[in-house]
Structure 1
Amino acid sequence: RVDRLVIGGGMVFTVLAAAGHAVGKSLLESDYIDTVQGFLAQAEALGVEIVLPVDIVMAAEFSPTADHTTLPVGQLESGPLGADAMGLDIGAESSALFAKAIESSQTVFWNGPMGVFEFATFAAGTKAVAAALSSVNGLSVVGGGDSAAAVRALGFADSDFGHISTGGGASLEFLEGKHLPGLEILGWQPHVAP
């Protein structure tokens, strides 16, 4: 069971669009907007707290040297870069908000960077989340090849976290209790808690 879901990175723009926000040229899976709206309604009905960014670092292009500015979520297309800008990281306020949500949790599973961490200009959100995760007083799991690469590239040690798994999608399916043929051949059977 999830009590709190913190959403950032590339997938957040579909969530923001589903919540009625314009996202410029940011990564967007418009075919999933209705599905995401259903997920948000289901989360609300189940009392799951959804934490979304309040500001985004918007860039003129996908480049480490791109012109960029940080804008509030409700104004992503109204900044100096206009509607052609794309979100490449969460902003400083979002980083602080996410860190607070993570640090107050007992168990955290993290899958996916908050921005384009490969470009130093857009790595601050991922670094803030990794730092918060490393200070969790409980179980912290970094799941997925991109997340594992990010924490290592940003100078964190594997020992800063409870566990690092490069199996992002498989890790999520494991947590969902889905059938995993590679584990089932070893005798593991899925179990979904009531």
Structure 2
Amino acid sequence: MRMKLNKLTETGYALRVRSGAKAPISACLPWRATSVNRWSIVSSHWRPASSLPFGLRPLSAMTEEAPMQIIQLTATECTPTVEFDFVAHRFSLRGESWPENAAAFYRPLQSALESWQPQASQAAEVNIDLSYFNSSSTKMLFGLFDQFNRLAQSGCTIVLNWFYDAEDDVSEEFGEELSLDFTALTVKLHAEQRQ
């Protein structure tokens, strides 16, 4: 059985299951299915219920009427833990990032950050602690960092804390390059002893 994400409208997404068979939704989504993540079936399409986790919520639902507060996604084998706290101005990604479709995972985060930008007036802290990330995740991470960089250029103080294994030279160099590519951000490198 093969699953893929199909764009249904400009504001909504649905998961299509080929052959119309039921499948565990956790098999292809960047979060674990819980009682909070309810899905309903209409013909051969999975359609999100009103209590969808952020990842597939229609962007039209994120308006000034309902200001964003916290986005939390639990880590899976191939996606990081996400904690975007728009009230406290703290944003973190922890774990590994190698989803099959990095754009589907990161674009909703970028959209949320984009809609938050006009409200940003204080200092913000970005904590990145990724033990592994693939090239498609790198591209999406650079998109997030670029958004934070634009915020910093507009007058906000943004500190990007880059956590890495002390024995991982590649990750250390990546963190150093961030400070060269995104000059408006205050990039701090944090070497940690990991097993």
TM-score, normalised relative to structure 1: 0.36
Structure with the higher strand share, 1 or 2: 2
TM-score, normalised relative to structure 2: 0.36
Structure with the higher helix share, 1 or 2: 1
